Structure 1
Amino acid sequence: MIGPAGALAAYDIVFLDRDGTINVREEGGYVAAAESVVLLPGAGEAIARLNAAGIPVVVVTNQRGLATGRVTWEQFAAVSAALDVALAAHGAHLDHTAVCPHDHDSCNCRKPLDGLFRQVLAAEPWAQPERCALVGDMPTDTAPARGLGMRAFQLGVDVPDLAGAVEILLGA
């Protein structure tokens, strides 16, 4: 799926929440249109630093709007493509996106459950949870990562923003 981290990488994988961590979260919680994708300040540069350090970057995102019909798969794909373009303008890229398209209480992958993380780790057996990290904007993002033994940062609580978390992760 994504391939191992670089030989000197500090982490096997850095997991990122999407909305509210990488890009601005729309009112109501859903980013349903490509033209609504706006990177948070410093997010593109922070991801580019992880890329340059040889660390795979994987998005783990709940997208309940897919279950409720508020967002179609076509809209989700368009938003993902727009995010890729916005990141590329900063020399950054995402290695994979793991998405939970389910409603509340209908799966084991919706954060705060750890199914999305377990899916990625099962596909990448070289990645060890204790050598992974997560950055998210909500306790529901950090809880599953911490439960699996990953280092986790909640924006606004542990660090001010994604760039601050990357500073700590890369030790610079």
Structure 2
Amino acid sequence: MKTAISYRGIQTVFLDRDGVLNRKAPEGEYVSRWDLFHPLPGIEEALHRLNVAGIAVYVVTNQRGVALGLYTTRDVEHLHARLQEDLRAHDARVDGFFYCPHDKGVCDCRKPKTGLFEQARALHPEIDYATSLMVGDSVSDIEAGQRAGMRTIFIEGEPERQKPGADRGRTLADAVSTSLGAAVELILRDQ
């Protein structure tokens, strides 16, 4: 496990959604409804710990299924609202959700580009990329965080559900973790 980097001073954590907060669908399938959203063990406690530590938490997620016509932006927003309800029941929260509904190559918000971070910072100008961290399970998550000047943690997912390039994401990341809960341990260890 790569853990040489310090997470002292982290004020904002950006999280990918599928594969970090919930079980990733098989390649080519999409988590488009609440009944398809299966939270990963321990996410509520991990988010609660970040909340208590005063660290802002934002979800940044590519949702290409919207561009493919498989579900709507309303479906994405409904799913995020249901997730927030579930988190509140566990005394946890996400401070904001930002998603890219576009297909590949047609926007500046689809990770590995940094537009989702820029959207978050436009609404929350206190966000400083130098004190931010990106946690994700794909190479595009890690590349996006690095392009914005953030520290990064790669989450090991189920091998059969990893996107192509996962090995590169693992190599590029500042640290590798088995879950969001384990990543939060790394983050809070240095606070």
Spell out, residue by residue over 1:16-50, the C-alpha distance to the aligned partner (whole angstroms, 9 max, x if none).
00111001122334111112221101111101100
Q: 1:29 to 1:10 in 2, by over 3 A?
A: farther
Spell out, residue by residue over 1:126-168, the C-alpha distance to the aligned partner (whole angstroms, 9 max, x if none).
2211100111111110111112221110101411111111111
Contact 1:16 1:134 in 2 (8 A): yes
Q: 1:14 to 1:64 in 2, by over 3 A?
A: same
The TM-score normalised by the length of structure 1 is 0.88
Spell out, residue by residue over 1:90-142, the C-alpha distance to the aligned partner (whole angstroms, 9 max, x if none).
22111101111100000011001111112222333322111001111111101
Q: Partners of 1:121 and 1:59 in 2: how far apart?
A: 13
Q: Partners of 2:128 and 2:61 in 1: how far apart?
A: 20
Matched, 1:102 2:120: no
Q: Which residue of 2 aligns with 1:163?
A: 181
Query: Where does structure 1 differ by over 4 angstroms across 4 or more consecutive aligned residues?
Result: none
Q: Partners of 1:51 and 1:144 in 2: how far apart?
A: 23
Number of aligned positions between the proteins: 164
Q: 1:45 to 1:147 in 2, by over 3 A?
A: same
**How far apart are residue 78 of structure 1 and its match?**
2.3
Q: Partners of 1:87 and 1:123 in 2: how far apart?
A: 22
Q: Which residue of 2 aligns with 1:24?
A: 23
Which residues in structure 2 correspond to 1:7-156 (within 5 Å)?
A: 10-27=9-26, 28-156=28-156
| Unaligned stretches of 5+ residues in structure 2 | 1-7, 157-169, 171-175
**How far apart are residue 68 of structure 1 and its match?**
1.2
CA RMSD of aligned residues (A): 1.6
Q: Which residue of 2 aligns with 1:6?
A: none
Q: Partners of 2:47 and 2:146 in 1: how far apart?
A: 21
| Unaligned stretches of 5+ residues in structure 1 | 1-8
The TM-score normalised by the length of structure 2 is 0.80
